[in-house]
Structure 1
C-alpha cells in the first residue's frame, strides 16, 4: 500500500452511514463485507498483518460501486482505498489455477475491441443454433463464471462501423471527440450510432479517432494498475487534440475522469492526464450543458430510469439524464426503488462473483418490474446486460435502451417500437 493510505484510512470514523447503501452488506449483513469492515481489514494490513485468504475474499466481494463514497459524511475516499488494496491483492494473493485462468481470459478479451469483434461471428452462430438450452445447465454445474458469461451475452445483430467524422447538422455549435469503448462498440454498436447522430443533430462535429482502444476502466477497477496506466496513456494520445470528449459508458467516463489521479506520479503524463480528465464528459452531462436545439418529437412511452453506479456515484451525474428525458414530449419517467444499490454488474463482478451478482440482479429486476414501465433506460452496457438478464430470469422481457437511443428516437420522430418498447 502507498504511503498516503494511513491518512485515507484514518478519515473513516466508523459511523455506519455507508451500511444501508453497500450491496454486499444489504445481502449478507456481515460487518467485514461492509465498507467500514473492509476499511478495518485494510488498517490491519497497513499495520503489518499479512494479507490472508479471508481478507482477500472480503475485498474480492466488494463491487467497487462507490455508493459508500456518496453516502459518507466524512468524505472517505473508499474508491482510492479499494483500488490500492485490489492492486495489493493482485500482487500477493495466490489464486487457484482456475481463478487465474478465468481472470486472464477476461482481461485478454474484454479490453480489446478487435478480439471481441472476432468473437461476434461464432457467438452469433451459437445464439442462432439454440445450443444455449443444452449447454447452460452443464456450464452452471462446472463453471458458474462461464455460465454467467454465456447468459449475459446480448443477442447480436449486424455491426455498425462509424466514420472518423460525423458532421454537425446546421450551424456548428461544438466539436467533440467520442469514445466508442470496447463492449459498447462491439456488443452495443447501435448506442454509439445513436450517440453520434444526436450530437450531430444538436450541432456538434463528432470526431471518432480510428486508433482509440480501451480506456482502462476494467483494469483500473480490478487492481491491474499498470495495465490501466498503459490504456490511459494510449487514450490520452488518441484524444489530446480535441476540446471535449463525450463518453456514453458510465464506467469508462468514471475511469477517464480519474486519469489525473492514476498518472499523478508520472511527470511526463500527469499534466496531460489532468487535461484529459477535465475534458471527459458523460453524454447526458455534455448535452445538458450545451442545451437543446433540435426539435423533440413526442414519444408516448413510460420509462424507468436506472442510475448506473459509476455515473451517479463515480461522476455525480444524476439530474442531467433525467432532465434530458423530461424534455421529450409524451415520455413519462418513473423512478426505480433503492436506486443507490448496485444491480450487480460492476464491471467484471458478475463474472467473478456470479452468485452475489445474481442476487443483486434479481433485486434490481424486481424493482424495475414494479415500476410498470415499458422501457428501462440505463447509461452503462454492463447494467444493460445485467438487468436484462435478470428480467429474463423472472420471465419478463423488457426493452432496455441508452438515453442516447431514447433521445435519438425522439429527434427522428420514431415510434416506441423502434426502441423495442410498447406505448
Structure 2
C-alpha cells in the first residue's frame, strides 16, 4: 500500500473513457472502484479528510431530512443578504480558492420536489395516461437543482406519463462508491431497491446517478439474493433523455431561437452509452442551432467530488475542456448536475456570457412557450 499504488487509483477521474476506448471492453471504471474499496479498507482516511467524509458522505447525503435542512440554510444564506455581504467584504477569501470559486457559481436554491410533493406523491399526466413512472429526485439535484427536477416532471407529464415521487428513496451512493466506501453504497442501494420495487420505470436526470443505479448488481456480486434484486432494479432505470426518445416524445412546436452546444457527461456517454438521444431531443426543437463541440465526451473535471478533492488536477482538465467549447454559442447543454457546476465555473473564469442548461430544460421551455407562457432563457 504505497503511494505508487494509491496515487494513480485515487487521482483517476473515473470518467470511464478508458472503458470506451478499450478494444476488449474491459470495465476499467468498475475495477477502479473495486480497488478503491479495497484500499480504503486497508488504509482508512484520517484527519480532516476523514472528518469531511463522515460529516458529508455519511452524515448528510444518506439522510434526505438533513439534506433538506442544508438546502434551507443555503437558501437563507442567498436570500438574507449574507451572500452579498460575504462577497462584497471579501469574507470568502478565508476559504480555499477552489471553494470560494464554487460558491460564486452556486445556483439559486429552490424548494425540493420531495418536500413540495410530499402530500401529492402522484402527479397526473396531461391528457391520456400512457404509463406511470417514478423519478429519482436525488440529493444534490433536489437541493441545488430543484428547478431541473420540476422541469423533468413537467416534460414527463406533457408526454403522457403519471409521475410518482417515491417517499423512501435516498442518495444513489455514487459519491460513496467513488470514494471507496462500498459498504455505505450497499446500504443506500438496498434502500433504493426496496423503495422502487413497485414501479416499472425509474427515470433519472443525473448521469452519475443513473450510471450508479444501473451498476447496483456489481455491489452485490457475492450476495445472490440482493444481486438478483439489484438486477431487476437496474433493468428499470432509464435516463430521462433516452426514455423520452425511446417512448416517442412529442416534438415541440414553439421556437426557442438559440445557438447551443452539447457536452457529453462522462457517466452518460461512457458509463451508459447514451450519446445520440439527448442530441435528438435538442434538435427536435424548432429554432435551435446546434454547434458541435470537438471532443464533446472529454471529462470536464467535475467527476463526482473530484473538483473538491483534487482541485488543481480538476482545474487543468477544465481548462482543456473550455478550449473546445465554441465561443459563439449562447447555451451549453448537458445531463448531469456536477458537470453543470463545473462548466459554469469554466464559463465564469473565462469571462464568457454563456448559460449552462440541462437538456430537459430546453424541452420544458419549448413546451411552456407552446402553451403561451412567458419563457425567459
Both structures adopt the same fold (TM-score exceeding 0.5): yes
**1:349 match:** 306
Task: State the match for 2:197 in structure 1.
Answer: 240
Q: Structure 2 regions of 5+ residues with no counterpart?
A: none
The CA deviation at 1:390 is 1.8
Report the TM-score when normalising by structure 2. 0.91
TM-score scaled by structure 1? Answer: 0.81
Deviating more after overlay: 105-114 vs 163-172: 105-114
Distance 1:70 1:384 in 2: 22
Instruction: Sort the Cα spacing of 1:387 and 1:157 in 2 relative to 1 into closer, same or farther, 3 A.
Output: same
How many Å separate the matches in 1 of 2:87 and 2:48?
A: 23
Hey, what does 1:26 align to over in structure 2?
A: none
- Are residue 119 (structure 1) and residue 75 (structure 2) matched? no
Q: Distance in 2 between matches of 1:88 and 1:135?
A: 40
| 2:203 counterpart SS class | strand
TM-superposed deviation, 1:93: 2.2
Cα distance, 1:95 vs structure 2:
4.1
- Mapping 1:191-202, distance limit 5 Å: 191-202=148-159
Alignment of 1:356-371 (within 5 A): 356-368=313-325, 370-371=326-327
Q: Structure 1: how far apart are the matches of 2:275 and 2:210?
A: 14
In 2, the alpha carbon distance for the partners of 1:71 and 1:90 equals 28
Superposition deviation, residue 179 in structure 1: 0.8
Q: Quick check: 1:404 aligned with 2:360?
A: yes
CA RMSD across the alignment = 2.1
Greater shift in the superposed pair: 299-308 or 213-222:
213-222
The farther-off stretch of 279-288 and 326-335 is 326-335
Residue 111 of structure 2 is aligned to residue 155 of structure 1: no
Counterparts of 1:243-254 in structure 2, within 5 Å, are 243-254=200-211
Cα distance in 1 for residues equivalent to 2:112 and 2:179: 29
Paired residues of 2:102 and 2:345 also in contact (CA < 8 A): no
Does the residue aligned with 2:291 lie in a helix, a strand or coil? strand
* Alignment map for 1:280-295 (pairs within 5 Å): 280-293=237-250, 295=252
Evaluate the alpha carbon distance shift between residue 255 and residue 287 of structure 1 in structure 2; reply closer, same or farther with a 3 A threshold.
same
Give, in angstroms, the shift of residue 55 of structure 1: 2.0
Residue 38 of structure 2 is aligned to residue 88 of structure 1: yes
Preserved CA contact (<8 Å) 1:175 1:244: yes
What corresponds to 1:393 in structure 2? 349
Q: Which residue of 1 aligns with 2:340?
A: 384
Map 1:177-188; keep pairs closer than 5 Å: 177-188=134-145
- The Cα of 1:342 is off from its aligned counterpart by 0.5
Match of 2:52 in 1: 102
CA contact (8 A) 1:169 1:200 kept: yes
Aligned counterparts, 1:44-55, within 5 A: 51-55=1-5
Q: 1:147 to 1:105 in 2, by over 3 A?
A: farther
Distance 1:110 1:367, change over 3 A: farther
Deviation at 1:120, TM superposition (A): 2.6
Q: CA deviation at 1:263?
A: 1.8
Q: Within 2, Cα distance between the matches of 1:89 and 1:154?
A: 35
Q: Quote how far apart the aligned CAs of 1:259 are.
A: 1.2
Matched, 1:327 2:284: yes
Q: In the aligned structure 2, how far is the partner of 1:269 from the partner of 1:276?
A: 10
1:70-95, Cα deviation, whole Å (9 max, x unpaired): 01112122112101111122112254
In structure 2, the residue corresponding to 1:392 is in which secondary structure? helix
Matches within 5 A, 1:169-318: 169-293=126-250, 295-318=252-275
Q: May I ask how many residue pairs the two structures share in their alignment?
A: 366
> Aligned partners of 1:152 and 1:90: how far apart in 2?
32
- How far did residue 264 of structure 1 move? 2.8
How far 1:416 sits from its partner (Å)? 12
Q: Partners of 1:233 and 1:406 in 2: how far apart? A: 34
Matches of 1:126 and 1:209 in 2, distance apart? 29
Q: Indicate conservation of the 8 Å contact 1:304/1:371, yes or no.
A: no
Contact conserved, 1:300 with 1:416, CA < 8 A, in 2? no
